């Protein structure tokens, strides 16, 4: 056997293995791509209202972002157990994981209400401290978020059901529902934002109403699937509160570390965004937001690689095949590296659509957008590998890796660095973003050595392995 063949066999699995991984990842990536394209269309439509309107929607969107990350994190924590119980063919365990996701997800309803309906202006004002057009941006943001409050419950239940289906490898159903819901959202945006078919133009409020209606349809569709399909995690309404306290506690313990890690990340992103927003006027807010809207077209790789890795590793660990899981880890990380490089090329290509989609924004906003897209594309290999590393650790219940590495570096290094740059330099938002994201290179190296300790190599369906 040649040296090249030995290296290939050591770091890469068979074609069948990668086809299986892609069968999970591609539908999820398509789902995310469709959502990202619709989000891009939304931003395109709102951008026609000017820098201030787009800035207001995106400032309000930061709250929605935090809420979504919380719900997805809870689903990730429950999914650690869901995939392993699926591998062990334990329906009761899957049902308990589903209960955990739904109960903990709906627990966010009260703080979500306070932010959206009780103290919206006070909280959103923290996102535009120092911005020269803060008052006008907040007027649009408060109006938008007050309407978006009415989609919270629908979105939570839909995400819980969709994530549970994906944990079982059923990725096509969420894809189809997402396609239909996002098409509804897009069509309603066109009608309600600018006014068509006799309906008056509602501006940013129209975008909010479109989102609420689309999310309501999505919930109905997922409930129909839940009742008709009767998935293995299905729980009868009369049995919903029959919780296994001990198992719920184990899930909460694992979930607490995941939640801590993700909330540190999302709060750091929120603080970072607030600091960026203070480096100018509405052009900075809209330009940075536009850059991320386009970057979402290639960020789809994150959810695909994360879900595929979690399902494959979790199922293998749940069946007790630890040596096979060890091999799959290496194969998946190698595949993630190649996927990341491929997505970088795609990312650079998306810069061509910046003037087409956001040409109606100011020249300054368009310039910021283009520079951000280039920078985000450059980091794709690093971030795709990081997502695969996190998915491997969490699939085996090793949630400490993210907390001790990712969260602590963010708290102790990244945020102080950001405040120093903001206080003592005049660098623009894109350069500032580059400075703090270079730390992700350090995280990848630390994750590599952490995974080699194999704390993740556990079968969580066996009580004593907890």
Q: Which domain holds residue 390?
A: 11-465
Residue 445 burial by Cβ neighbours in a 10 Å radius (0-12, 13-18, 19+): exposed
Residue 398 lies in a domain: yes
CB-based contact 442:435 (threshold 8 Å): no
**Both tokens assigned to 145:** 């978020």
**Both tokens assigned to 464:** 């004593």
Residue 180 lies in a domain: yes
Cα–Cα distance measured from residue 44 to residue 59, given in angstroms and rounded to the nearest whole number? 16
Of 394, 463, 459, 465, whose CA–CA distance to 87 is shortest?
459
Residue 1 lies in a domain: no
- Side-chain-side CA neighbours of 366 within 13 Å: the count stands at 15
Residue 356 burial by Cβ neighbours in a 10 Å radius (0-12, 13-18, 19+): exposed
Question: With the CA atoms of 217, 218, 219 and 224 taken in that order, what torsion angle do they form, in degrees rounded to the nearest 10?
Answer: 90
Q: pTM for the complete prediction?
A: 0.68
What is the length of the chain?
466
Residue 4 lies in a domain: no
Residue 3 lies in a domain: no
Overall domain count for the chain: 1
Residue 283 lies in a domain: yes
Cα–Cα distance measured from residue 125 to residue 130, given in angstroms and rounded to the nearest whole number? 10
Residue 2 lies in a domain: no
Note down pLDDT in tens along the chain; length 466 residues: 555 556 666 667 777 888 878 777 777 777 667 766 666 666 667 766 776 777 777 778 777 777 887 888 888 888 878 887 887 788 888 888 888 888 888 888 788 888 888 888 888 887 776 666 778 888 888 888 888 888 888 888 998 998 888 888 787 888 888 888 888 888 888 888 888 888 888 877 888 888 889 889 989 999 999 989 888 888 887 777 788 888 888 888 877 777 777 777 777 777 777 777 766 676 777 787 788 778 877 777 777 887 788 878 888 887 788 888 888 888 888 888 888 898 899 888 888 878 877 777 777 888 888 888 899 898 989 988 988 898 888 788 777 787 777 778 888 888 888 888 777 877 777 888 888 888 889 888 999 998 888 888 887 776 544 4
CB neighbours (10 Å) of residue 331? 18
Residue 184 lies in a domain: yes
Of 406, 412, 363, whose CA–CA distance to 387 is shortest?
406
């Amino acid at each position: 056997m040649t040296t090249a063949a030995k290296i290939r066999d050591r770091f890469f699995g068979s074609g069948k293995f990668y086809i299986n991984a892609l069968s999970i990842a591609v539908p999820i990536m398509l789902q995310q791509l469709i959502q990202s394209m619709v989000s891009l269309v939304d931003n395109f439509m709102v951008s026609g209202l000017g820098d201030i309107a787009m800035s207001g929607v995106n400032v309000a969107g930061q709250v929605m972002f935090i809420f979504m990350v919380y719900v997805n994190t809870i689903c990730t924590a429950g999914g650690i157990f869901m995939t392993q119980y699926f591998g062990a063919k334990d329906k009761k365990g899957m049902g308990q994981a589903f209960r955990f996701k739904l109960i903990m997800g709906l627990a966010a309803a009260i703080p979500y209400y306070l932010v959206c309906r009780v103290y919206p202006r006070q909280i959103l004002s923290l996102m535009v401290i120092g911005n020269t057009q803060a008052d006008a941006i907040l007027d649009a943001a408060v109006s938008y978020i007050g309407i978006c409050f009415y989609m919270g419950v629908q979105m939570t239940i839909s995400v819980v059901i969709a994530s549970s289906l994906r944990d079982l490898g059923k990725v096509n159903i969420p894809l189809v529902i997402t396609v239909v819901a996002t098409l509804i959202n897009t069509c309603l945006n066109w009608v309600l934002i600018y006014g068509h078919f006799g309906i008056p133009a509602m501006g940013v409020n129209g975008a909010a109403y479109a989102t609420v209606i689309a999310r309501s349809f999505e919930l109905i569709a997922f409930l129909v699937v839940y009742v008709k399909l009767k998935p293995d995690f299905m729980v009868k309404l009369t049995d919903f509160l029959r919780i296994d306290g001990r198992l719920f506690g184990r899930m909460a313990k694992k979930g607490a570390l995941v939640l801590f890690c993700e909330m540190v990340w999302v709060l750091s992103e929120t603080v970072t965004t607030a600091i960026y927003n203070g480096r100018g006027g509405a052009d900075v807010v809209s330009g940075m937001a536009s850059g991320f809207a386009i970057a979402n077209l290639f960020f789809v790789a994150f959810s695909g690689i994360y879900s595929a890795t979690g399902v494959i590793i979790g199922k293998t660990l749940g069946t007790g095949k630890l040596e096979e899981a060890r091999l799959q880890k290496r194969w998946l990380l190698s595949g993630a590296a190649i996927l990341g490089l491929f997505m970088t090329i795609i990312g650079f290509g998306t810069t061509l659509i910046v003037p087409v989609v956001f040409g109606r924004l100011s020249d300054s906003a368009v310039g910021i957008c283009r520079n951000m897209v280039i920078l985000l594309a450059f980091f794709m290999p690093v971030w795709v590998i990081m997502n695969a590393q996190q998915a491997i650790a969490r699939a085996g219940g090793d949630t400490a890796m993210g907390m001790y590495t990712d969260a602590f570096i963010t708290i102790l290094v990244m945020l102080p660095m950001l405040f120093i740059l903001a206080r003592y330099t005049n660098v623009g938002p894109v350069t500032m973003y580059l400075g703090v994201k270079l730390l992700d290179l350090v995280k990848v190296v630390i994750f590599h050595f952490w995974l080699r300790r194999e704390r993740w190599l556990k079968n969580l369906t066996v009580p004593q392995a907890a």
